[in-house]
Chain A
Amino acid sequence: MSNAVEISNVSMRFNMAKEKVDSIKEYLIKFFKRQLLFEEFMALSDINITVQKGEVFGLIGLNGCGKSTLLKIISGIYKPSTGTVKVNGTIAPLIELGAGFDMDLTARENIYLNGSVLGYSKQYIEEKFDEIVDFTELHQFIDVPMKNFSSGMVARVGFAIATITKPDILIVDEILAVGDFLFQEKCEKRINELMSGGTTVIIVSHSIDQIKRLCDRVAWIEKGKIKMIGAAEEVCDLYTSAK
Chain B
Amino acid sequence: MKYFQTFLKYRYLLSNLIGRDIKVKYRRSVLGILWSVLNPLLMMVVISTVFSVLFKGGKFGETNIPFHVYYLTGATVYNFISEATSTSMMSVFTAAPLIKKVYIPKYIFPLEKCLFAFVNLLFSLIAVVIVLLASGIKFTFTMLLFPIPLLLALVFSIGLSMLLSALTVFFRDIVHIYGVFLTAWLYATPIIYPITLLEGNKKLMLIMHLNPMYYFVEFFRKVVIYNTLPNWQFTLVTVGVSLLMLVIGILVFRQKQDKFVLYM
Contact surface of A with B, Cβ cutoff 8 Å: 14-15, 22-25, 27, 75-79, 91, 93, 95-96, 99-100, 102, 104-105, 109, 112-113, 116-122
Contact = CB atoms under 8 A, between A and B. Distances in A.
Contacts of A25: 173
- Interface size class on chain B is 20 to 34
11 contacts: A14-B262, A22-B172, A23-B171, A25-B173, A77-B99, A77-B101, A77-B103, A93-B102, A104-B27, A112-B16, A116-B10
Q: Which of B24, B102, B258 has the largest count of A CB atoms less than 10 A from its CB?
A: B102
Contacts of B24: 102, 104-105
A23 B20 contact: no
B97 A99 contact: yes
A92 B204 CA distance: 57
Interface of A is mostly: loop
A105 B171 contact: no
Contacts of B209: none
Nearest to B172: A22
Nearest to B8: A121
B13 interface: yes
Interface of B: 9-10, 12-13, 16-17, 20, 23-24, 27, 97-104, 171-173, 258, 261-262
A113 B103 contact: no
A105 B27 CA distance: 10
Contact of A75 (B27, B103, B172, B262): B103
B261 A119 contact: no
B101 A99 contact: yes
Contacts of A27: 171
A116 B16 contact: yes
A70 to B, nearest CB: 15
Given A113-B16, A119-B9, A105 B23 contact: yes
Contacts of A15: 262
Nearest to A125: B12
